[in-house]
């Protein structure tokens, strides 16, 4: 039985008065708070050690940036004499991934299937000289441009009939159907022969099966450099507005694209983009 004094109960158990009870309650609260603090510290330490998927990225594989590219589009993405995948786009996205602390895995695919693969979740990002245009910006997130170059109307060296884009009306050009250059050629009234990439377009021109192709000027200059001459081709005209080429991700990968843009800015400021451009083109082509 316990006795009361005013409103405070008095325990019959030795040493268990009101002050002692408050002390034990405080101890319990202190232990609970300590456990909560330990749990929170462990949580944040675990997050710091997690891969990039915990940063809000939508990745095919945790900690890996799966990149779609052609692998046949020299000098941007290609194999040197059957060796490893190399090129301007390859080195730029590798540098970006390093900034994001991600590994890179390249998935080579035909250009005409590259957007379908991104939509289907096979890739995280496209790195293949994708030109920025309103239609693509409406459907995808596109990075700040890492290549800026005019388009070129490319014809056989001995051709004198095609001197400008207006001369394409009724002529046949070789184009990838999903490329920005396809829209340029069609806009000037050309009949388009579908091809898988640059190499096939050049082959059709040299065989006399098409009249021309519209493509990136840098592609032609590199091709002529590798051939040790003009390779039987020439530039009849250049576009007034340069092509601005970017990396592409789906709309639900905004955080990844934000960090890609931050990485590109850092690489531009520290001279990395200029260095890669000089390696392939003899100049900085990123601005």
- Per-residue confidence of the chain (287 residues) as pLDDT tens digits? 444 444 444 344 444 455 444 555 554 445 444 554 444 444 444 444 444 444 689 999 999 999 999 999 888 999 988 799 999 999 999 999 999 999 999 999 999 999 999 999 999 999 999 999 999 999 999 999 999 989 999 999 999 999 999 999 999 999 998 888 999 999 999 999 999 888 999 999 999 999 999 998 888 888 888 888 888 999 999 998 888 999 999 999 999 999 999 999 999 999 999 999 999 988 899 98
pLDDT, position 26: 54
- pLDDT tens digits for 248-260? 999 999 999 999 9
- pLDDT tens digits for 90-116? 999 999 999 999 999 999 999 999 999
Local structure of 115: helix, strand or coil: helix
139, 145 contact by CB (below 8 A): no
267, 275 contact by CB (below 8 A): no
**DSSP secondary structure string for all residues of 221-258:** HHHHHHHTS-TTEEEEEE-SSPEEEEEEEETT-HHHHH
Q: What backbone torsions phi and psi does residue 172 show, to the nearest 5 degrees?
A: -110, 130
Local structure of 3: helix, strand or coil: strand
Write down the residue that tokens 């945790």 correspond to. 62
123, 66 contact by CB (below 8 A): yes
Alpha-helical regions (H) of 50-142: 88-99, 114-119, 134-139
Alpha-helical regions (H) of 50-127: 88-99, 114-119
Helix axes 217-227, 272-281, angle to 10 degrees: 50
Give kind and range of the element (H or E) at residue 262. helix 254-269
Q: What is the pTM of this model?
A: 0.65
pLDDT, position 230: 86
pLDDT, position 55: 67
pLDDT, position 92: 98
pLDDT, position 214: 97
pLDDT, position 53: 44
Q: Across 134-217, where does the E strand assignment appear? A: 140-142, 147-149, 151-156, 172-175, 191-194, 213-216
212, 154 contact by CB (below 8 A): yes
């Amino acid at each position: 039985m316990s006795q009361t004094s005013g409103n405070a109960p008095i325990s019959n158990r030795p040493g268990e008065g009101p002050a002692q009870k408050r002390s034990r309650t405080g101890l319990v609260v202190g232990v609970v708070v300590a456990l909560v603090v330990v749990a929170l510290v462990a949580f944040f330490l675990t997050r710091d050690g997690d891969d990039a998927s915990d940063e809000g990225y939508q990745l095919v594989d945790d900690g890996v940036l799966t990149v779609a590219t052609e692998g046949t589009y020299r000098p941007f993405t290609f194999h040197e004499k059957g060796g490893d995948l190399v090129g301007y786009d390859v080195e730029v996205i590798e540098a970006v991934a390093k900034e994001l602390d991600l590994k890179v895995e390249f998935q080579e695919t035909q250009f005409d299937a590259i957007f379908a693969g991104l939509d289907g979740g096979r890739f995280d990002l496209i790195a293949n000289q994708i030109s920025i245009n309103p239609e693509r910006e409406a459907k995808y997130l596109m990075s700040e441009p890492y290549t800026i170059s005019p388009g070129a109307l490319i014809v056989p060296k001995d051709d004198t009939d095609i001197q400008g884009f207006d001369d394409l009306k009724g002529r046949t050009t070789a184009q990838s159907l999903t490329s920005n250059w396809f829209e340029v050629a069609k806009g000037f009234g050309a009949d388009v022969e579908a091809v898988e990439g640059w190499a096939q377009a050049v082959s059709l021109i040299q065989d006399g099966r098409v009249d021309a192709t519209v493509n990136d000027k840098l592609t032609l200059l590199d091709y002529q450099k590798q051939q040790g001459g003009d390779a039987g081709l020439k530039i009849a005209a250049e576009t007034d507005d340069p092509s601005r080429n970017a990396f592409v991700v789906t709309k639900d990968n905004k955080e990844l694209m934000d960090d890609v843009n931050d990485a590109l800015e850092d690489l531009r400021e520290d001279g990395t983009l200029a260095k890669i451009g000089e390696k392939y083109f003899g100049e900085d082509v990123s601005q």
